[in-house]
Amino acid sequence: MQEEVGFIELLRVNPIFRRYWIANSISMLGEWFNTVAIFVLIESISTSALAISGVIVLRMFALAIPQLFTGVIADRYSRKMLLVMSNIASALVLIPLFFLRGAQDLWIIYAVSAGLMFLHAIYIPAENAVMPTITAKNELLTANALNSGTWSASLAIGSGLGGIVVAAWGVNIAFAINMLSFIIAALLLLAIDIPKTKAKKRVGRWWESSLLEVKEGWSIILSTPPVRRIITAKAMWGLFGGGLVYMLILIGAEGGFGNIATGIGMLFAARGIGTGLGPILAKYAFTNREIWPQLLGWLVSIAGLGYCLIGFLEWTPWISIIVISAHAASGVNWVLSTVLLQERSEDEWRGRLFATDYLLLTTILGLSTMAAGLLVEFGPLTLREAVLLFAVLQTFSGLIWTFLVSPGEKKLRKENVVNSQSN
């Protein structure tokens, strides 16, 4: 295999990826302005811890349920136009947020959040399926690392600046910035030529053929052990990571960070910095692909240990360092599992693969957040005790996942050695 290219070299020699990356970066940056603004808005008009967990759970399920069919859409239609139209539609969905009157309009915030996640559910499988078609084999890891790092940088910068903007000028300015970012991204994506393998023609009504393709996609995944094992990696982190990220918002609101917007923005910025460092570590520190599958579980455990520390420490701005470390581990898990799935799949069914990947992840995240919200609101545990409980469980879940996956991966490595020797 050719040596993997560097970040700067990739952007210099691959103009299609460069234009895609710029468009995607602008879209993601604005989106995090919106996310912080929504959390701050809900916190300011509701006294219940369930109000924030409710919007997170709704966002997760609004992202999860459409994945049943969005993978089929990504495999059947122009992925470029799916990326463009989801950005344009997202800009339009934001409009009702400018006309909120108070607590009686909380349902509008929930509806807009669900609408944005529904459109994101269309965007995600198309985006991940596009990546191997616009990069060479020796560019794929770098491209995914850069994409994940950019998401993280957008989280860090967007959350940090979003908190400052909301505190200084209010939520409407943040919503306007997000709307503008979606429109600019759509215009930039229109100028990109994205190749795609022509889908097989299906007979019968749309819903019938779509259900057939969903069934076919799941059948391929379940009958392909190297894919079946890795597709659970992100969901394993989300099993307790979803609840921990939700409780991070509560820590930002209740800890000694000044005002609510600053606290949430600071901790989400730390989360973004961590998940941004993760892809860089993935590229330069973990060059031996053979250890990647087992490493995925250890990374989940490392993230859990980080939150164990947060559970014991005083909640001041200094815990941002631990948040960075914990989410650096989850960032490595994310990019390595994504690259492994891309390398182990074919273009014809890759959209359905990543739709299933996100279906698992977002469903688990939603359930985890719901459990954490109910535990904090009605359970016998304090917020600090709940953080410790979820952190310890996440640590052990990563170890168990590694134990279950290792035998199959060792067998696969032996088969690859035999095949390479016979060739």
The reply to whether 209 falls in a domain is no
- 3-class SS at 205? coil
Q: What is the pLDDT of residue 198?
A: 54
> pLDDT tens digits for 391-414?
999 999 999 999 998 888 888 777
Whole-number Å distance between alpha carbons of 246 and 248:
5
The reply to whether 235 falls in a domain is yes
Single-letter amino acid, residue 406: S
- Phi/psi for 261 (5° steps) reads -60, -40
Nearest to 367 by CA among 268, 246, 249, 253: 246
Domain with 93 in it: what CATH number? Answer: 1.20.1250.20
Domain encompassing residue 310: 17-193+214-422
Instruction: Count structural domains, the chain.
Output: 1
pTM greater than 0.85 (yes/no): no
The reply to whether 207 falls in a domain is no
- Label each residue of 145-191 as H, E or C: HHHHHHHHHHHHHHHHHHHHHHHHHCHHHHHHHHHHHHHHHHHHHHC
Residue in this structure with the two tokens 């215009």, named with its chain if needed: 187
- Phi/psi for 381 (5° steps) reads -95, 150
Q: What is the pLDDT of residue 220?
A: 82
Cβ proximity of 24 and 192 under 8 Å: no
**CA 157 and chain centroid, separation:** 16
Cβ proximity of 359 and 305 under 8 Å: no
Whole-number Å distance between alpha carbons of 36 and 48:
18
Q: What is the pLDDT of residue 237?
A: 92
Q: What is the pLDDT of residue 45?
A: 76
Burial 212-234 (b: 16+ CB within 10 A, else e): ebbebbbebbeebebbebbbbbb
The reply to whether 6 falls in a domain is no
Whole-number Å distance between alpha carbons of 23 and 18:
9
Cβ proximity of 196 and 79 under 8 Å: yes
Degrees to nearest 5, angle at CA 30 with 25 and 36: 125
The reply to whether 369 falls in a domain is yes
Sequential pLDDT tens for the chain (423 residues): 567 778 889 899 999 999 999 998 898 888 877 777 887 788 777 766 677 778 878 888 888 888 777 777 877 778 888 999 999 999 999 999 888 777 777 888 889 989 998 998 888 888 888 888 888 888 888 888 888 778 777 777 777 777 778 778 888 888 888 899 999 999 999 988 877 655 555 555 655 665 676 677 778 888 888 888 888 898 899 999 999 998 988 888 776 666 676 777 788 788 888 887 887 777 777 777 788 888 899 999 999 999 999 999 888 888 889 999 999 999 889 888 988 888 888 877 777 787 788 788 888 988 898 899 888 888 788 889 999 999 999 999 999 999 998 888 888 777 766 566 565
Cβ proximity of 129 and 350 under 8 Å: yes
Whole-number Å distance between alpha carbons of 145 and 294:
19
Q: What is the pLDDT of residue 298?
A: 94
The reply to whether 321 falls in a domain is yes
- Going by the DSSP 8-state scheme, the letter that residue 200 receives in this structure is P
The reply to whether 178 falls in a domain is yes
The reply to whether 199 falls in a domain is no
DSSP assignments along 9-54, one per residue: HHHHH-HHHHHHHHHHHHHHHHHHHHHHHHHHHHHHH---HHHHHH
First to last CA, the chain: 15
Q: What is the pLDDT of residue 62?
A: 85
